Amino acid sequence: MKERLKLKRGLSEISPLFAKISRLSDSMVIHEPRQILPPGNLLGQPEIIFSWSADDETDAHFLNNYFAAKLVSADSPGLLITLGSDRKLTEAAPKSEPWSASLRRLCLSASQLNEAFSSKLMTYDGALSFEFGNRIFLEMKMNVLLKSPDLIKSIDRVVLFMHPQVESITETYRKLKKMAACGLSADISIVFDADDAAGLSARVYELFSDFVSKRLSLNSNYLGTLHLSRGGAGLSQDLRWTNWGEGSLFRKMNLEKLRFLSWVEKKQGAQICP
> In terms of pLDDT, which residue wins out, 239 or 267?
239
Residue 216 lies in a domain: yes
Structure confidence at residue 229 as a pLDDT band (50, 70, 90): low
Q: What is the pLDDT of residues 134-160, one digit of tens each?
A: 889 999 999 999 999 999 999 999 999
Residue 62 lies in a domain: yes
Structure confidence at residue 16 as a pLDDT band (50, 70, 90): very low
Q: How many structural domains comprise the chain?
A: 1
Residue 271 lies in a domain: no
- Domain extent, residue 82, equals 2-17+34-266
CA triplet 238, 243, 221: central angle to 5 degrees? 95
Beta strands in the chain (DSSP E): 47-53, 78-84, 95-98, 103-109, 135-139, 157-162, 187-192, 220-228, 235-239
Residue 274 lies in a domain: no
Q: What is the pLDDT of residues 158-209, one digit of tens each?
A: 999 999 889 999 999 999 999 999 999 999 999 998 876 568 888 899 999 9
Residue 23 lies in a domain: no
Residue 237 lies in a domain: yes
Residue 29 lies in a domain: no
Residue 59 lies in a domain: yes
Confidence (pTM): 0.77
- What is the CATH number for 184? 3.40.50.300
